[in-house]
Amino acid sequence: MPTAATRRPSHPTRTARGRSRLIAGCVAVTALLGLTACGTASGALRSPSASAPSPGDTPQQPTGTGAATIAPTSGSDAADGSGPSAPAVTPRSKTPAAPAAQTKTTPEQPSADGAPSSPAAPAAPSSPAAPPAHTGPGKVIGSTASGGRTVALTFDDGPGPATGQILDLLAQYHVKATFCEIGQNAAANPALVKRVLAEGHRLCDHSLDHPQPFEKLPHDKAVHEITSARDMIVQAGGPGTQVSWFRAPGGGFNADNEHITASLGMSSLGWSVDPRDWSRPGVPAIVSTVQSQLKPGGVILMHDGGGDRSQTVAALKQLLPWLVAQGYTFDLPAA
Chain segment 243-288, per-residue pLDDT in tens: 999 999 999 999 999 999 999 999 999 999 999 999 999 999 999 9
pLDDT confidence bin for 335, thresholds 50/70/90: confident
Whether the pLDDT of residue 9 is over 60: the answer is: no
Residues 51-61, mean pLDDT to the nearest whole number: 39
73 within domain boundaries: no
Number of structural domains, the chain?
1
- Is the distance from CB of 223 to CB of 214 less than 8 angstroms? no
What is the rounded CA–CA span in Å between residue 12 and residue 18? 10
317 within domain boundaries: yes
For the chain, the average pLDDT equals 73
137 within domain boundaries: no
Domain encompassing residue 270: 155-330
CATH classification at residue 189: 3.20.20.370
13 within domain boundaries: no
139 within domain boundaries: no
Picking from 26-30, 94-98, 280-284, which range would have the lowest pLDDT averaged per residue? 94-98
Residues 136-146, mean pLDDT to the nearest whole number: 80
Please say if 156 is a catalytic residue: yes
Whether the pLDDT of residue 163 is over 70: the answer is: yes
Residues 174-188, mean pLDDT to the nearest whole number: 98
Kindly name the residue from 157, 303, 304, 331 that is annotated as catalytic.
Answer: 303
Kindly name the residue from 156, 277, 304, 331 that is annotated as catalytic.
Answer: 156
54 within domain boundaries: no
Please say if 308 is a catalytic residue: no
121 within domain boundaries: no
DSSP 200-234: T-EEEE--SS--SSGGGS-HHHHHHHHHHHHHHHH
pTM as predicted: 0.61
165 within domain boundaries: yes
Query: What percent of the chain stands above pLDDT 90?
Result: 58
Q: Residue 11 carries which DSSP code?
A: H
